[in-house]
Amino acid sequence: MRYKILVCLCFLSTSILAQIKTPDLYGAWVATRITYLSGDELPDENILKYTYVKYYFVAPDKLFVSGIYYDWGREGAFDLVGDRINFKTREGHLMNTLRVLELSTNKLVIVHGSEHGLADPWAIKYTFIREQVVQDAIPLSPSDIFSVKGADTLYQSGQKIYAQFTGPAFNDYISENMAKKKVSTKSGELLASFIVDRNGHADSLKILQGINPKYDKTYVDIFNSAKKRWIPAQLNGKVVPVVMQQRIQYLTADEAIPSYFNGNKANQAYNDQNYELALQYYNLALENRPDEKDHLYKRGVCKQKLGNLEGACTDWQKLKTLGGNEANAMIEKFCK
């Protein structure tokens, strides 16, 4: 009898999923839990466990994947066949096939197949919740407020409150237009802040750190060309003004190449759980790119595994100051 019940339940589940319609997927979804398909938790040393992931399905057939809350991210295409989502390049080449385990109004559970397929117990399972539901559940904190003047409150950009550029990524928009104007730089970092008001207009631009006069002037011109291409931030269903930040970094080959190769060696040792060797290579990689978030997280794990908890917390706190949320759970767990 138990066998017959199981068969019936499996058939019912398959039938329900077979009725999924593409419009059911439309909108922004944020991963709130990432585990193995078996239900086992990912180990702390797997950075994916705490990585921010957002899927944005857009009519009729676009899928954006982002690791940053304020960007749409990488653009691709998709189609839905039964309970399978075929994720493709913009040109239509298949990149990955995802399996839908559950879909309701505010919840989406999917599986990324491993090398052994979509039924492998060690395949990665993502539990997504509608972004608006996630934002509503985040409590408003003092760090979400930039300034208060009388009855007017100016908010600080964060996962709960942020303005959205009407395009995949504002950084990409700047870079593409810089290339069109034939402005290039070999090395440097631009830091800027601006306000997006209730009407979705970007203004009050401040260049906190420039690269060079020509680049900075061109940046201002490109910024101004997109002043009206913003969707205003919302709080409790009402539009609010928000301070946004932008960071654009350029690296020389002398900076990027050593970091890339040392990072690859570090990741290999890390995956082999050789934390002593991985630590040495992460040190070398971070000499050239001290703000590489993945390396900071994993170097912190190496230090924690080797008993240097203070050093681990220093790396994770730096990652947090750079805007990465991957280490927040580790800070809460080990750095009180």
Domain residue limits, the chain: 2-135, 138-250, 253-334
**Multiple choice CATH, 253-334, 3.30.70.270, 1.25.40.10, 1.10.10.10, 3.30.40.230:** 1.25.40.10
Which pLDDT tens digit goes with each residue over 150-169? 889 999 999 999 999 987 78
Q: What is the structure's pLDDT at 8?
A: 34
Buried b (16+ CB within 10 A) or exposed e, 58-97: eeeebbbbbeebbbbbbbbbbebeebebbbbeeeeeeeeb
Q: CA-CA distance, 2 to 5, in Å (whole number)?
A: 5
In this chain, the answer to whether the domains covering 138-250 and 253-334 adopt an identical fold is no
CATH placement of domain 2-135: 2.40.128.20
Q: How many CB atoms lie within 10 A of CB 254?
A: 11
Of 249, 177, 171, nearest to 210 by C-alpha is 249
**Multiple choice CATH, 138-250, 1.50.10, 3.30.1150, 2.40.10, 1.10.287:** 3.30.1150
Listed as ranges, residues in the chain with pLDDT below 50 are 1-16
Q: How many CB atoms lie within 10 A of CB 102?
A: 14
Instruction: Tell me the three state secondary structure of residue 97.
Output: strand
The continuous run of DSSP H or E covering 260 comes out as: helix 253-271
Which pLDDT tens digit goes with each residue over 12-36? 334 345 588 999 999 999 999 999 9
Q: CA-CA distance, 136 to 160, in Å (whole number)?
A: 7
Q: What is the structure's pLDDT at 1?
A: 29
Q: CA-CA distance, 165 to 172, in Å (whole number)?
A: 11
Which pLDDT tens digit goes with each residue over 232-241? 999 999 999 9
Tokens of 168: 């995949």
Q: What is the structure's pLDDT at 6?
A: 31
Q: What is the structure's pLDDT at 17?
A: 52
Q: What is the structure's pLDDT at 253?
A: 87
**Residues paired with residue 60 on neighbouring β-strands, in sequence order:** none
Q: What is the structure's pLDDT at 9?
A: 31
Q: What is the structure's pLDDT at 227?
A: 96
Percent of the chain that is helix, strand, coil (3-state, to 5): 35, 30, 30
